[in-house]
Structure 1
Amino acid sequence: MTPKAGPARSARPGRWPWAVLLGHALLVQLLTFVLRPTTTYRAIELDLPRALLGALSACFAVAPLVLAIPSGAVTDRIGERAMALLGSVFVLASALVLALCGHSPAALVGGSVLLGVGHLCSVIGQQTWVANRAHGADSDTAFGRYTFAASLGQAVGPVLMLLFGGRHAIPDTQAIFTLACSGALALVAVSALITPTSRDPSDGAHRQRGGTVRLLRLPGLPRALLTSCVVLAAVDITLVYLPALGSERGIAAGTVGALLTVRGLASMASRLFLGRLVARLGRRRLLVLCTMLSAASMAAAALPFGTAALAVFVALAGFGLGVGQPLTMSWLADAAPRGARGRAMSLRLVGNRAGQVVIPSAAGALAADVGAGGVLVATAAGLAGVGYAARTLPVDRPASAAVPAPPTGRRGAAPRRRRPCRARRCR
């Protein structure tokens, strides 16, 4: 007798794999947002030239620019867990270099480079894992939760510095580096617990067909990459020029810090409820509306309103900016073929890093003439431009699109059913 087939396994992973992945994302961002400012404080502690501070920031960003595309291709070959584990080892190496040898400029530069590579490998592994596990409408909710966990890590990381002399001008950098080593060890342990995605025999063929040039030819992909790039650059600009705007208007530093917290919380809220928003409005419409909302809010924030109105505009801008990143991730996850999603995510990271270098630099040159308010207006114009361009992204596929429609005749009617032949030659 033929044994009965058991119940089919669900394509969705259980809660434990998702909890491990989200915990890994939180830890990576937490350690990154602890080590980067602490490295800056150590450089100030050593009385190093101010120009070196910019070099430390560039060292973190330049390595991902060079290695992002190869890292995406490697992820597609070796799997997400191996890449996340490799990234965790680099983060641990960075923390050890900074803790043991961080009293020399060369060690600070080397630690920043190692941290940039570790952050890149970890993020590509995480995003590829989510892209391979969630599809269609599920990908919006999945990437919303993933970016929420990353935002939470970014918010909690700097707060930890308060435990080590955060009220002083310079905290206890050695204690923070030592604590980061313990956190990096925990990150390596969590990496080993990540459930690898099952490998499909056809993935090799998809990798051959999923080269970088072919990915760039996917309908709407350049516009999606441009939207992601400008949105992330706009987030960086708010972090730099909102304090500058407060200084111009005489707003207290504590109030400006509260405004930045409001922006971060609004972005986290939009990501937490992203799946419901997409179900109600659709992916393309939501991306256009939220990008335009952030553009209008940033332009309004540059006008001479009171602090209460400024808080409202900052919250609306944060809500809109929080949607752009996970939506472009989910769109790329659905557009890229299986076996090439790591490379698609690396393309997005390259665009983001390039935008973080070019756009804020142009904003800095502009600020000398028009001030912080003018920079916010120029950023709003850029957001409005990419929001308008996002109108032509491919329309969301309905759930019924996966079921092939019956063939139709010339006028759209179903073909006539042939009658059985009763002639003797057909018997």
Structure 2
Amino acid sequence: MPSWFALLCTATGLSQAVFTAVRVIISYRALEFGGDGTTIGVLTALYSLVPLLAALPAGRAVDRSHAAAVFRIGCATAVSAVVCVIFSTGLRQLAAGTILLGLGHLLTVVAAQGYVPLMSDPGDYDRRFGGLTVWISLGQSAGVPIIALFSSRPHSGSAALTETLWVMAVLAGIATAVSLHPALRISRRSSEHAANGPNQSMIEMLSTTGMRPAVFSSLIVLTSMDLTAAYLPIFGQRFGYSVLTVTVILTARAAASVVSRFFLTDMLRLASRKWLLISGTLCSALPIALIPAIPNPIVVTAFMAGAGFFWGLAQPLTMTWVAGLVSPANRASALSLRLTGNRLGQVVIPLTAGAVAGSAGTDAVFIFTGGLLASAALSTWRALSRTR
């Protein structure tokens, strides 16, 4: 019988392929329906608005050993989201599909991350969070090239995007089927271990030393990934990039994240956890800010790959950081608090980025994103220096 971790990674990887590809297609569909940079910012925020309300309840459900149910509901929600986008005829229907897609993403990620502390010893967190995020990156790397595969044909246009969406619906269905495997049930031993200790409120968890900087670092990295994925198609149109070129750039970013996550445990032997956490935001700030200055697609690909490498380090390390700050009974809730911060950032920051794009142009969004990454690096450095 396949192990629970192999099944979890398989379903998560398939789901991530769906989420990544469909989000890029939503940007193109919004442009087809007459949207602009501000519209893209609103849709990016809507992707996180409903999940912002659902994150903590989902985390509590996972802490109560309902991880399998939350995971299955998330996978099934992804199927319905893709179907909604397929049949969208305007921005309102596209917005509804975007909200469903964001909810499906949140539920699958909360549950997938919650499995690790429920089913693993603390000493295995880095390895398993790293392994899980490798599969997340593999899914992201596989999802975007499928768009290129269909869009590279002559005169493909909108029909190719629709065909890609149907492929994504099938992948989401397969992920749902994998999530139903009995091996993903939470064992009684894991349930009893998770029950140790009192439940902490959100305020209590946020008051824990190091929690707010960890959440801030995580939300800035994830929001930066979202902003670059959402605005690169618009940036590319301005400089004559084809859909294939944009998807290659995004694939390079995701592939670089795979590499860094694959070697995470080795890198932890060579460098301190503190400096790897700081590098996750610091070393990606300048490449992202420089994209408008050097719009050559080869250079942009290199910048995005460099940023992706360091973003790949930041995500699993902040998961371990957050999970280690609370008792076993609250680890999934703490991870969902991290995701709540991510979603809050994905609501507020894209709206701000949309306003920036509307007044100063798309180039300013990349400079704005670089500034956010630099501020997160400073916050992480201060927090980790105080705890030494």
What range describes the TM-score normalised by the shorter chain of this pair? 0.7 to 0.9
Greater shift in the superposed pair: 123-132 or 283-292: 283-292
Secondary structure at 2:328 match in 1: coil
Q: What are the within-5 Å matches in structure 2 for residues 47-126 of structure 1?
A: 57-95=44-82, 110-126=96-112
Q: What are the within-5 Å matches in structure 2 for residues 170-249 of structure 1?
A: 170-171=158-159, 175-176=163-164, 178-193=166-181, 194-197=184-187, 198-201=189-192, 203-204=194-195, 206=197, 208-242=198-232
The verdict on how the C-alpha distance between 1:137 and 1:16 changes in structure 2, with shifts beyond 3 A counting, is: same
How far apart, in 2, do the equivalents of 1:271 and 1:396 lie?
Answer: 27
Equivalent pair of 2:78/2:101 in contact (CA under 8 Å): yes
Greater shift in the superposed pair: 359-368 or 260-269: 359-368
Secondary structure at 1:18 match in 2: helix
Give the aligned residue type for 2:144. Answer: P
Give the aligned residue type for 2:18. Answer: L
Equivalent pair of 1:284/1:393 in contact (CA under 8 Å): no
Q: What are the within-5 Å matches in structure 2 for residues 289-368 of structure 1?
A: 289-304=279-294, 310-367=300-357
TM-score (norm 1): 0.75
The verdict on how the C-alpha distance between 1:273 and 1:195 changes in structure 2, with shifts beyond 3 A counting, is: farther
What per-residue deviation string (whole Å, max 9, x for no partner) do you get for residues 126-155 of structure 1?
A: 010123334555322222221221122123
CA RMSD of aligned residues (A): 3.6
Equivalent pair of 1:147/1:271 in contact (CA under 8 Å): yes
How far apart, in 2, do the equivalents of 1:30 and 1:149 lie?
Answer: 10
Equivalent pair of 1:140/1:278 in contact (CA under 8 Å): no
Equivalent pair of 2:118/2:191 in contact (CA under 8 Å): no
User: How many residues matched?
Assistant: 381
Q: Percent identity?
A: 30
Which structure shows the higher helix fraction? 2
The verdict on how the C-alpha distance between 1:246 and 1:279 changes in structure 2, with shifts beyond 3 A counting, is: same
The verdict on how the C-alpha distance between 1:394 and 1:173 changes in structure 2, with shifts beyond 3 A counting, is: closer
Which residue of structure 2 lines up, in the alignment, with residue 156 of structure 1?
142
Residue 286 (structure 1) aligned with residue 276 (structure 2): yes
Structure 2 unaligned spans of 5+? none
Secondary structure at 1:210 match in 2: coil
How far apart, in 2, do the equivalents of 1:127 and 1:44 lie?
Answer: 34
How far apart, in 2, do the equivalents of 1:56 and 1:308 lie?
Answer: 29
Distance apart, 1:222 and its partner CA? 0.2
Greater shift in the superposed pair: 17-26 or 172-181: 172-181
Equivalent pair of 2:27/2:233 in contact (CA under 8 Å): no
Distance apart, 1:228 and its partner CA? 0.8
Equivalent pair of 2:257/2:310 in contact (CA under 8 Å): yes
Distance apart, 1:124 and its partner CA? 0.7
- Structure 1 or 2, whichever has the larger Rg, is 1
Distance apart, 1:33 and its partner CA? 3.2
Secondary structure at 1:116 match in 2: helix
Residue 138 (structure 1) aligned with residue 124 (structure 2): yes
What per-residue deviation string (whole Å, max 9, x for no partner) do you get for residues 105-140 of structure 1?
A: 776555444333222211111010123334555322
Equivalent pair of 1:41/1:171 in contact (CA under 8 Å): no
